[in-house]
Chains A and B, each alone.
Chain A
């Protein structure tokens, strides 16, 4: 079935790295995404990775993809208080985006 799973909470200290993990189910997903949701707002795309890649780096963000294990991770280097938000991974089904449960990241000053 369609079930994208994430841990619900993550707490890190400012300046440390954050790693948010996700497992997905649809091995045919062409793209896998990370979205960020700040309080009171909709989701915004952070980054995405094409399914034939295993890593993508974008400034402080590093996405790792393990297709064999259907595991996706997002690493945020030098985490700042402004990174506090809910992070969603998403896979693309045949014609829809399937979102995970979201990981609430809290950055402690």
Chain B
């Protein structure tokens, strides 16, 4: 398996533009997580899906952020409109089972987002 695949690897956009980040989890994994990493706030959980259903989106900063998981092999994180403070590295991670099972998280390589 190729692991968790994220695209694009880098994204540079202007303030106000729509940004869509993509993630393909490891086949067979039923838990998917979106994280954001910044120097100031570290690694923040944005949203968690289990069996394609959003379980906890309390970490989504505001209405400008939305995430979908239309099927077990694909998820998107959309920011509309984007702002400079959204600049960060966005990670997608998946696991076979949930956190309490001891299953490890597999992370993608991340998307480096820069909003000018």
Contacts and interface: CB of A to CB of B under 8 A. Distances in A.
Interface of A: 30-31, 33, 35, 40-45, 48, 50, 88, 92-102
Max count, chain B CB within 10 A of own CB: residue among A40, A94, A97: A97
Interface stretch (B14-22, B78-86, B102-110): B102-110
Contact of A97 (B45, B55, B110): B45
B61 interface: no
A8 to B, nearest CB: 10
A31 B43 CA distance: 19
Contacts of B43: 43, 88, 99, 102
Interface in B41-67: 42-43, 45, 48, 50, 55-56
A96 B56 contact: yes
Contacts of A99: 35, 42-43
Interface of B is mostly: strand
Nearest to A92: B99
Contacts of B33: 96-97
Classify chain B's interface size: 20 to 34
Contacts of A40: 109
B72 interface: no
Contacts of A98: 45
A16 B51 CA distance: 45
B93 interface: yes
A20 to B, nearest CB: 15
B100 interface: yes
A29 to B, nearest CB: 9
A96 B45 CA distance: 8
